Chains A and B, each alone.
Chain A
Amino acid sequence: MTDTTPTTDGAGPLPTGEPWVTHETKPYWDATAEGRLDLPCCTVCDLVIWYPRAICPDCHTSEVEWRTMSGRGTVHSFTITRAGVSRKWREHLPIVVAYVQLEEGPIVLTNIVDVDPATVAIDMAVTAVFHDTGHGNAILRFTATGS
């Protein structure tokens, strides 16, 4: 998961956008700049919290600490989107939109990139890649493990 270079699909790198970095989410975004997936974890109930936030939504303590995830996961579900997206995405179609279940538990929304969409399947092993936003951080996406 150390690949911080934007990978390219058919029409160049997928769009990234500019994340809204808040006091709650800054550690997450700072880690992405270094090719790391860090998530807040509750030190009371041990919940790995997705999406990042300052207060545990299970036990409502503020005792959360940032831990580094493995970057490994499996495809929980996916779709090959061929239409029905906003203008900036159209030239990149088809794209694979997916939910990936991290080894540590949370299921995160993402794209599967640098693969033939026809080979994507539920339970497929995937590894995190980070696409530079140009704003000092990166978007978390996944590619087939070993690719």
Chain B
Amino acid sequence: MTTSGAAHIAGVYEHPLRSIPDKTVPQIHAEVAIGALADAGLTMADVDAYYSAGDAPGFGALSMIDYLGLDVHHVDDTETGGSSYLVHVRHAAQAIAAGHIDVALITLAGNPRSGGSGPGGSARFADAPEASFENFFGMGIISGYAMAARRHMYEFGTTSADLAEIKVAASTHAQHNPDAFLRDVVTVDQVLESRLISDPLHLLDACVVTDGGGALVVVSEDVARQLDRHTIPVLGGGEAIKGTRAGRVDLTHTAAVVSGPAAFAEAGVTPADIDYASIYDSFTITVLVTLEDLGFCEKGKGGEFVRDGALQAPFGRLPFNTDGGGLCNNHPANRGGMTKVIEAVRQLRGEAHPAVQVPDCELALAHGTGGSMATRLGSATLILGREARR
């Protein structure tokens, strides 16, 4: 069953703050939920399906549905790390296409900047079957991505300067976002001169750590028709999980090699048709590998692809992350997938900052990469359109 065009993103909201020491995580979930519903022209009473991931405190969706005062008959607590929210959009689109629900609410919130817990809560991983074989080596999140970067450099000749180009493009966009955590434009040299955290990745190869959150409202065609807001059709989606495969570790690919083609096929489009792309950017290397895996360039040619301002809006070959992305703007709760969808919706509505608005933006891609590129990850791809196909 295809879900193409059956569901619409009707409301989006990104919390404007990047440091929120005086509010609880459930409170931030509630604020972004109210914000996204208001954007759509809907209320909590209209919601009949709720989606949350590992950032939802307590019993996850059960706790949050109770806290928010929701009355739903469909729930999905799928957890694939930072890509969860794109998976949720796809699952909501499938449930809408099947006629089960009309209004899905998806929320994300967290406060790591103010000392809150890390992604998913570390207690969640203590009983993982892999835990005693991976947890005793001092591997931080960045160490894993650094090993992926090193292997990519070894196999394909990618350079640190190539990776820096990605940060430069994000910073060029972030200067126009008054809410962005980092608003200074940086140069390739500044990235290369920033402190090495885990070779070959520098401080400026990494995303920001921010409090905050965001929410999405996905609705059926019937509901979309009744709303005044410009709703964005979900044209295609794909999701895939990749692990360590019993020791056949592959550091230079993500599961985007599966989720991407699935999303393009469902939407009936190709990478060349995409006007704007939100690409998950936990680190610069995440972007480079994802661009290859999604087919925007050949495997190994990502370094070449991102040179010469290719990712810079509005006139680069593939404008990306025009809000400044996770690298400069926001990576709330250490999870970048929510904001990827939100900026893609802004672009398609023509509501991105005028300095970075892609002219005549008709087709956008949003991609999430949750977990770790070095071990196990969840990739999720969405293709979104400007016009409903009615």
Q: Chain A residues in contact with chain B, CB under 8 A?
A: 14-17, 19-21, 24-25, 47-53, 57-58, 76-86, 89, 92, 95, 97-99, 102, 105-111, 122, 139, 141
Contacts and interface: CB of A to CB of B under 8 A. Distances in A.
A107 to B, nearest CB: 4
B351 interface: no
Contact of B138 (A57, A81, A99, A107): A81
Size category of the binding interface on chain B: 35 or more
A37 B360 CA distance: 60
Interface of B: 126-127, 129-143, 146-148, 150-151, 154, 195-201, 244-249, 251, 374-375
Given A48-B247, A58-B246, A83 B129 contact: no
Given A77-B251, A89-B138, A106-B246, A98 B131 contact: no
Contact of A82 (B136, B196, B247): B196
A121 B24 CA distance: 46
A19 B143 contact: no
28 contacts: A19-B132, A19-B136, A20-B126, A20-B127, A21-B132, A49-B247, A50-B133, A50-B246, A51-B134, A79-B143, A80-B198, A81-B138, A81-B139, A81-B142, A81-B199, A82-B199, A83-B195, A84-B140, A84-B142, A84-B197, A95-B138, A97-B139, A97-B147, A99-B249, A105-B248, A108-B133, A109-B137, A110-B137
Contact of B136 (A15, A48, A81): A15
Given A79-B198, A99-B249, A106-B248, A84 B133 contact: no
A17 B197 CA distance: 23
A101 B246 CA distance: 12
Given A48-B247, A107-B249, A109-B133, 14 more contacts: A14-B138, A20-B132, A25-B132, A49-B247, A50-B133, A52-B133, A77-B147, A78-B147, A79-B146, A82-B198, A95-B138, A102-B247, A107-B244, A108-B247
A51 B133 contact: yes
A106 B245 CA distance: 9
Contact of A122 (B154, B244, B245): B154
Nearest to A105: B247
Given A78-B150, A79-B143, A84 B132 contact: no
A67 to B, nearest CB: 14
A25 B127 CA distance: 13
B143 A81 contact: yes
Nearest to B243: A57
Contact of A97 (B138, B151, B245): B138
Nearest to A16: B136
B147 A51 contact: no
B150 A107 contact: no
A101 to B, nearest CB: 8
Given A49-B246, A110-B137, A77 B143 contact: no
Contacts of A141: 137
Contacts of A20: 126-127, 131-132
Nearest to B375: A109
